[in-house]
A = this chain, B = another copy of it.
Amino acid sequence: MDAVLHALADPSRRTMVEALGQADATVGELAALLPIARPGVSRHLRVLREAGLVEARQAGQQRVYRLRAEPLAEIDEWLSHYRARWEQRMDALHTEIARSKRQRRKTQ
Contacts and interface: CB of A to CB of B under 8 A. Distances in A.
B72 A79 contact: yes
Contact of A69 (B2, B9, B82): B82
A100 B70 CA distance: 21
Q: Copy number in this complex?
A: 2
A2 to B, nearest CB: 6
A27 interface: no
A85 B98 contact: no
B72 A86 contact: yes
Interface of A: 2, 5-6, 8-9, 11, 14, 18, 21, 67, 69-70, 72-73, 75-76, 79, 81-83, 85-87, 89-90, 94, 98, 101, 105-106, 108
